[in-house]
């Protein structure tokens, strides 16, 4: 099999001190870097949340509190704090990650009207071209790491599966927002039931 590594949203705003920090996010960096220097991947793709100011997914755009419930086409089910705004420090990759090993960077969430959790498509279904890129290189398996496991990593994995790729999430290289251990197990079990491989 020919494999690719997808490194999802390892950006400053998702690390300690960032606008939408994932608990213990820095602990995934050694595992990710160990994968980035391996020879087993035909391609390494990094993804980057790349929101304009006043993005519709931001609570501030609607004069609401972060994490308020909100549903519209391509937005929701909750509103987020302002994060990963284009050209800001928060949108930059964490400086510990060996980003020089990325072959391709996919920026997502740049349409002000639509959010994009997955590396494969925006939340309204618009393709971001990743599936075509990988299939064009005869890649049939993906390993996925990054942030956050229960949002963008999960949606990326589900879409990888839908596009016909053997799909693996490497737990040591990803952290989730959900801190309730039972709810977190439920999230992982739900992904396993869909056919996603959860690996240590």
pLDDT tens column, 57-100: 999 999 999 999 999 999 999 999 999 999 999 999 999 999 99
pLDDT band at 19 (very low <50, low <70, confident <90, very high): very high
- Domains in the chain, ordered, with CATH? 3-199 (3.40.50.850)
| Structure confidence by residue, pLDDT tens digits, 146-172 | 999 999 999 999 999 999 999 999 999
Q: Judge contact between 93 and 147, C-beta under 8 A.
A: no
DSSP character at residue 135: H
| Structure confidence by residue, pLDDT tens digits, 26-68 | 999 999 999 999 999 999 999 999 999 999 999 999 999 999 9
Determine which one of 150, 152, 154, 175 is catalytic.
152
Q: Judge contact between 155 and 130, C-beta under 8 A.
A: no
Mean per-residue pLDDT of the chain:
96
Task: Return the pLDDT at 21.
Answer: 97
Q: How far is CA 137 from CA 5, 36, 48, 72, 97, in A?
A: 13, 19, 22, 36, 25
User: Phi/psi at 92 (nearest 5 deg)?
Assistant: -70, 155
Task: Return the pLDDT at 81.
Answer: 97
Q: Measure the CA angle with vertex 150, ends 10 and 182; round to 5°.
A: 135
Residue 1 pLDDT more than 80?
Answer: no
**Higher confidence at residue 1 or residue 177?**
177
| Structure confidence by residue, pLDDT tens digits, 110-135 | 999 999 999 999 999 999 999 999 99
Determine which one of 108, 143, 150, 175 is catalytic.
108
β-strand partners of 45? 6, 104
Residue 6, preceding bond cis, omega within 30 degrees?
no
Task: Return the pLDDT at 23.
Answer: 96
Catalytic site includes residue 152: yes
Catalytic site includes residue 84: no
Kindly report the number of other CB atoms within 10 A of residue 59's CB atom.
17
Kindly report the number of other CB atoms within 10 A of residue 192's CB atom.
12
**Higher confidence at residue 85 or residue 1?**
85
Using only C-alpha atoms, the chain has a radius of gyration, in whole angstroms, of: 16
Kindly report the number of other CB atoms within 10 A of residue 81's CB atom.
16
Task: Return the pLDDT at 200.
Answer: 86
How would you class 130 by CB atoms within 10 Å of its CB: exposed for 0-12, middle for 13-18, buried for 19 or more? buried
Q: Measure the CA angle with vertex 159, ends 172 and 185; round to 5°.
A: 40
């Amino acid at each position: 099999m020919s494999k690719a590594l997808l490194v999802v949203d390892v950006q400053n705003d998702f690390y300690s001190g960032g606008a939408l920090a994932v608990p213990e996010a820095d602990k995934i960096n050694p595992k990710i870097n160990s994968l980035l220097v391996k020879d087993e991947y035909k391609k390494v793709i990094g993804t980057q949340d790349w929101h304009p100011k006043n993005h519709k997914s931001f609570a501030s755009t609607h004069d609401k509190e972060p994490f308020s419930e909100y549903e519209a086409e391509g937005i929701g089910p909750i509103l987020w704090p302002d994060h990963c705004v284009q050209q800001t420090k928060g949108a930059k990759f964490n400086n510990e990650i060996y980003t020089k090993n990325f072959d391709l960077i996919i920026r997502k969430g740049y349409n002000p009207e639509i959010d994009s959790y997955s590396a494969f498509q925006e939340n309204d279904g618009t393709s971001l071209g990743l599936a075509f890129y990988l299939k064009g290189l005869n890649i049939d398996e993906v390993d996925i790491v990054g942030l956050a496991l229960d949002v963008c990593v999960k949606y990326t994995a589900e879409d990888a599966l839908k596009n016909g790729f053997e799909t693996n999430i490497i737990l040591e290289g990803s952290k989730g927002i959900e801190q309730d251990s039972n709810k977190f197990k439920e999230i992982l079990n739900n992904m396993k039931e869909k056919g996603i491989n959860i690996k240590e």
